[in-house]
Homo-oligomer: A and B are copies of this chain.
Amino acid sequence: MELIEYLEKVGNQVDRLIDRYFGDPVGELNKASAHLLTAGGKRLRPAVMMLAADAVRKGSSDDLMPAAIALELTHSFTLIHDDIMDGDEVRRGVPTVNKKWDEPTAILAGDVLYARAFAFICQALAMDAAKLRAVSMLAVTCEEICAGQHLDMAFEDRDDVSEEEYLEMVGKKTGALYAASTAMGGVLAGGSQPQVDALYRYGMNIGVAFQIQDDLIDLLASPERSGKDRASDIREGKQTLINIKAREHGFDLAPYRRRLDDAEIDDLIQQLTDNGVIGEVKATAEGLVTSAGKILAILKPSDEKDLLISIGTFFVERGY
């Protein structure tokens, strides 16, 4: 099976389950919780988890669908809370929860999904001990995501963030949930500790690469494709790798920390392409994915392992 075909299959499975549990919400709080979750999304974390599970023990992923949903809920909860903190108004082409409702409702809507994520893990068909390990992993991961978001915000007040600091932040904010996705897949499928460790490291690498690509998309893709404001990171002064590499090239993005029109953004992209910044950022993401593939040598060959490796490549090649 081709990756795109696989992602579509899992995406549809996830969508159906999400529709079953969140498709007909009763009351404003449940509507707010379901809002972003049912507005689409690529369902990549569930797909990554299921591939990791099947790469460890073929056929195990069907039993683990509730845990895969838990990852999507966790992702959605962090987006809802992040949008409050960042004051964002559009996400996935729809108004954010804080915009459509208000901040208190958005805090609670995120908290509701947070709770349900843990409830869903408990419903997976797996050994109790494995499910408890998965609960612990998700808990540690949520804490890391918070630490990553906190660093991300702290970086906004600084103009001297190093590449190393950026990679640490992104590892927590985005890498950790992909790492948890692969590792939880391994744990719930009954993988050995070395397998689970390798899956964790693999997920971390491709997760960081994913975020770097996301930063590129924020700048390069049209709002119609990305579902977000264009160049919002630069407007908000986010310290992305683009920002850091630009500074290394003596190109200061601080003057662009304001609402930019389309012509200004196009001109900025041209400059960052000409001076090599865009190319270097892409190369960093690609390097992470290339080295990630080697980590999975511990898993025996299988179609699912191949798909898991190709998802890393997809992460840095996607345009939205």
Pairwise interchain contact B143-A105, C-beta atoms closer than 8 A? no
Inter-chain contact B122/A107, CB cutoff 8 Å: no
Determine if B153 and A104 form an interchain contact, defined as CB atoms under 8 angstroms apart: yes
> Are B116 and A139 in contact (CB-based, < 8 A)?
yes
A115–B29 CB distance below 8 A: no
CB-CB contacts of A120-151 with B at 8 A, as 1s and 0s? 01100000110110011011111100110110
- Any B CB within 8 A of the CB of A112: yes
When distances are taken between beta carbons in the complex, the residues of chain B under 8 Å from A110 are 111
User: Could you give, for residues 63-95 of chain A, a 1 whenever the CB lies within 8 Å of some chain B CB and a 0 otherwise?
Assistant: 000000000000000000100110000000000
Q: Which residue of B lies closest to A123 (CB)?
A: B136
- Highest count of chain B CB atoms <10 Å: which of A84, A108, A153: A108
The residue of chain B having its C-beta at the shortest distance from the C-beta of A133 within the complex is B122
- Binding site secondary structure of chain A: helix
- Cβ of A114 within 8 Å of any chain B Cβ, yes or no, is yes
Do A114 and B142 form a contact, CB below 8 Å, given A28-B150, A150-B108?
A: yes
Closest chain-B Cβ to A274's Cβ sits at a distance in Å of 36
Beyond A108-B149, A146-B115, whether A132 also contacts B122 by CB under 8 A is yes
Q: Are B29 and A111 in contact (CB under 8 A)?
A: no
Q: Could you say which residues of chain B place their CB within 8 Å of the CB of A131?
A: 128, 132
Contacts of A141 in B (CB 8 A): 115
Q: Does A178 contact B (CB under 8 A)?
A: no
Q: Within 8 Å of chain B (Cβ to Cβ): is A297?
A: no
Q: A interface, how many residues as a size bin? A: 35 or more
In the complex, are the beta carbons of B28 and A111 less than 8 A apart? Answer: no
**Across chains A and B, which 9 residue pairs bring their CB atoms closest together, nearest first?**
A128-B128, A115-B142, A119-B139, A85-B104, A118-B139, A115-B143, A29-B150, A115-B139, A108-B146
Question: Do A107 and B119 touch across chains, with their CB atoms under 8 A apart?
Answer: no
Q: Once bound together, how far apart are the Cα atoms of A169 and B253, in whole Å?
A: 50
The smallest C-beta distance from A199 to any residue of chain B, in angstroms, reads: 20
Q: Are A116 and B135 in contact (CB under 8 A)?
A: no
- Is the beta-carbon distance between B143 and A116 smaller than 8 angstroms? yes
Chain B contacts for A111, CB-based, 8 A: 81, 110, 114, 142, 146
Say yes or no: A128 contacts B132, CB within 8 Å.
yes
Complex formed: what's the CA distance from A150 to B116 in Å? 17
Enumerate chain B residues within 8 angstroms of A115, measured Cβ to Cβ: 139-143, 146
For A104, the closest partner residue in chain B by CB is B85
8 Å CB contacts to B: which residues of A163-212?
A: none
Are B150 and A105 in contact, with the CB atoms below 8 A? yes
Contact of A140 among B107, B119, B136, B146 (CB under 8 A): B119
Besides A105-B150, A122-B132, A132-B135, 15 new A-B residue pairs in contact (Cβ under 8 A), listed by A number: A29-B150, A81-B111, A85-B104, A85-B108, A104-B153, A111-B114, A112-B143, A112-B146, A115-B140, A116-B143, A118-B139, A119-B139, A128-B132, A131-B132, A135-B135
Q: Which of B103, B122, B147, B154 is in CB contact (< 8 Å) with A139?
A: B122
Contacts of A116 in B (CB 8 A): 139, 143
A39 CA to B136 CA in the complex, in Å? Answer: 27
